Structures are given as structure tokens and as C-alpha cells.
Structure 1
């Protein structure tokens, strides 16, 4: 069937449905980025769908087409950063020992803090307010993930690969340290002469954090 007869291909050879899907994904990404910024700055209570629409450069009606309510959009923002964090932890399951697993996890979490600072701030604000919207995440997915990683850490301890530390407190420390570079980014910039960390500084920071943690658990 010819392109002009099918009506399903554009001039650049892409199908009409494919182009629409790409446009939809791009619009949704713009909404999520805008929502991360607004929720990070104003919190759930202070954010409005109009503010998010304005930030995304969309009519409010278009925003509601993708996300019917503010809570639905908020949960999607939280789910996205949480899923990103969970994917970063895949290195735990694949690593032969704590040097590789925890070291790679620190690298991944630090990079997420650099690339998704607003998502981390949204999560931090939500939890500090008692997790009124995402308590179910904490009680299910986060709890299960934490217990799974704690089991791996206990195995490394039993094998003599690292010091005998409490796995939960180690994980809490890793979260606090890596997410600090997102949640308190302004403070870090201020102490860095009013400038964000350069690429070179960022690599040195990651190496320093890994060195401190790994030496602390007897790996280095």
C-alpha cells in the first residue's frame, strides 16, 4: 500500500501512530520535569496544576488530559524517582562483593542526585511531612527492597568480606549521604564559591564518598 493511500506514514517515513506516540512521550516528559520543579519548590500543598502547566508551557486542559488530578501527577513524580533509585540498586544483586556492589551503588545514587535533584527533594519533603501521599510505598516496595539488600549485606558479612555492621543503618547512611548532594545542593554550591560542582569536582566527590564508606566497613 502506498504511503499516500494508507495515511499512516508521514513524509519522513515514520508512521503517524509512531509520531503521535513520540509526541505524547515528549509532552509527558515535559510535564513530569515541570512537576518535579514545582513540587520541589512549593510542596504538594503549595503546588497547583496551573503552576505546573505554566512551567511545562502547556494549557491546563492539556495537563489534565495526561494527569486527571494533582495527586495522580504527584504520585507519578514520586514513583519515577523511586523507580530510578531501585534500578540503581540492581548492582547489589549482580555484585560479587561489597567493594563492587556498594561502590557502584554509591556511584549510581550520586549520579541520580546530580541529574534528578528535584525528584529527590520531592521525596525528602514528602517523607519529612510523614509521607501523607506515599506511605504505601514505604510500607511495601521500600520495605521489601530494604530487606532484600540487607540480606545481601548480611551474606557479605558472613563471608568475611566486610565488617559486621547493621545493614539497615549502613543503607540509611548511604541514602543520606548520596541524596544530600541533591537535597542540599544550594548549600554545597554556596560552600563551593557559589558555583555548582564541576565535572572534575563531581568525580572527586564520588571517589571521596566511596573511599570513606568502603574504608569504614573494612573493604579498603
Structure 2
């Protein structure tokens, strides 16, 4: 059923605070767009497909987003905001191993629950990040350097083994997002084991052991 739009005055065009129904509708559009873009890519997707997936008329959808490009960018930025929240939450005053354990666990959980978002982002980056390159070079860069500074301090205090903090963050991204981006490859190697109860827990334990044992302070 199509969600009804309130106030045709152009809520996002004039930057007023959206109403509850407008916020809900926007989330519905972004979730539908993620599924469409993940299957067809940016070029192969249409606004009509997204509207149909969202169970919304095309004019209603265009009330929120004027162009397909705007929807695509919003989906990617929404994905990045979700992914960066756990990194931003790393507490400089916390225990280094426990802070990184929590971060890795959250990243693995997000990859398992939202693999389409991870794959869509990977495709954008492989294409040279034409839509969100500015986001990567500003907000992402700033956050990574901020948290690298925290890890660097932990190393200097001998609370972690000597490690390059930026490459550690890259390694965590690679290890956690691999299970979403290369799901077909993993299933080709492991077969039905992937769908057995406990597989996600075993995966998390393996990744945590490898990464955390490598950065624990040496006695």
C-alpha cells in the first residue's frame, strides 16, 4: 500500500524538519533502492523499479528525491553512516582489546545482516567512487585519522603491540566485509556449512582470535 505524503510544500527542498511519516517514507525508499541497486547496479536501475519496490507511486517518490542519482547517493551515505558509527564509538578511555573486540564484532554483524549494502558500497569504490569520493576524502578520512591517533597512543603506552593503526583499520574492514562482498566465493569453498547454526559465531571467533592475538601487547 502506498504511504501518503503530508504537506506538499517541499519538506526536503526547504530543509524544514520532516514529519514522522515523511521520515518513515524516506527510509522505505532507501531500503527499496538498496535492494534494486544491489541487483541491477546504478546504470541498470530505474526510478520506476525503486518506486514499485517501495510500493509507492513515482510522483510520490520524486517528492523526496528529484533524481535517481540523489537516491543512490543517499543510500550510500546512509550505509556509510551506519558503518562508521561503531568506529566513531571506539572509546579512547576504554580497554584497547575490548574496544577493538566490540568494533570487530559489530562490523561482522552488520556485514551479515546487510550484505547488499556492503556489496553496493564495494561496487561504488571499485568504480572509482564517482558519487561519494568527496565523502571518503573528508568525513571518512577525518574519522580514520582520529581513531588511528587513539590506537597510536595505545601502542605508545604499550597497551597494544606495535602496529600501524591505519593499516589495522584497513585489515579490520577487509576481514569483516569479506563475508558480505564475497559470499558466493565463501559458499563455493564451504558449501552448506555456511548455513549451519553457529557459523556466524565461529566466524566471529576466528576473526577475533587472529586479529586480537596479533595486537595484544608482548610480554
Cα deviations by residue, 1:158-198 (Å, 9 ceiling, x for unpaired) = 01011111111111111111111111123333434257545
Unpaired runs of 5+ residues, structure 1, are 1-19
210, 213, 219: which one aligns with 2:211? 213
User: What is the alpha-carbon distance in structure 2 between the residues aligned to residue 111 and residue 95 of structure 1?
Assistant: 24
Q: TM-score, normalised by structure 2?
A: 0.84
Q: TM-score, normalised by structure 1?
A: 0.83
User: What is the alpha-carbon distance in structure 2 between the residues aligned to residue 159 and residue 122 of structure 1?
Assistant: 39
Name the residue aligned to 2:122. Answer: 124
User: What is the alpha-carbon distance in structure 2 between the residues aligned to residue 45 and residue 219 of structure 1?
Assistant: 48
The higher radius of gyration belongs to: 1
197, 200, 208: which one aligns with 2:198? 200
Measured after TM superposition, the shift of residue 45 of structure 1 is 1.9
User: CA, structure 1 residues 173+29, in 2 after alignment: closer, same or farther (shift >3 Å)?
Assistant: same
35, 38, 52: which one aligns with 1:37? 35
Name the residue aligned to 1:14. Answer: none
Superposition RMSD in Å: 2.1
Cα deviations by residue, 1:193-216 (Å, 9 ceiling, x for unpaired) = 257545521112111111110011
SS at match of 1:176: helix
Cα deviations by residue, 1:106-162 (Å, 9 ceiling, x for unpaired) = 011111111221111111111111110111111100110110111011011001011
Name the residue aligned to 1:177. Answer: 175
Count residues in correspondence: 201
Measured after TM superposition, the shift of residue 31 of structure 1 is 1.4
The runs of at least 4 consecutive aligned structure 1 residues that moved more than 3 Å come to 20-26, 189-192, 194-199
Q: Is the 8 A contact 1:81 1:119 kept in 2?
A: yes
Unpaired runs of 5+ residues, structure 2, are 1-17
User: CA, structure 1 residues 131+87, in 2 after alignment: closer, same or farther (shift >3 Å)?
Assistant: same
User: What is the alpha-carbon distance in structure 1 between the residues aligned to residue 39 and residue 107 of structure 2?
Assistant: 22
Measured after TM superposition, the shift of residue 219 of structure 1 is 5.0
SS at match of 1:132: coil
User: What is the alpha-carbon distance in structure 1 between the residues aligned to residue 198 and residue 106 of structure 2?
Assistant: 17
Q: Is the 8 A contact 1:98 1:219 kept in 2?
A: no
Name the residue aligned to 1:103. Answer: 101
SS at match of 1:147: helix
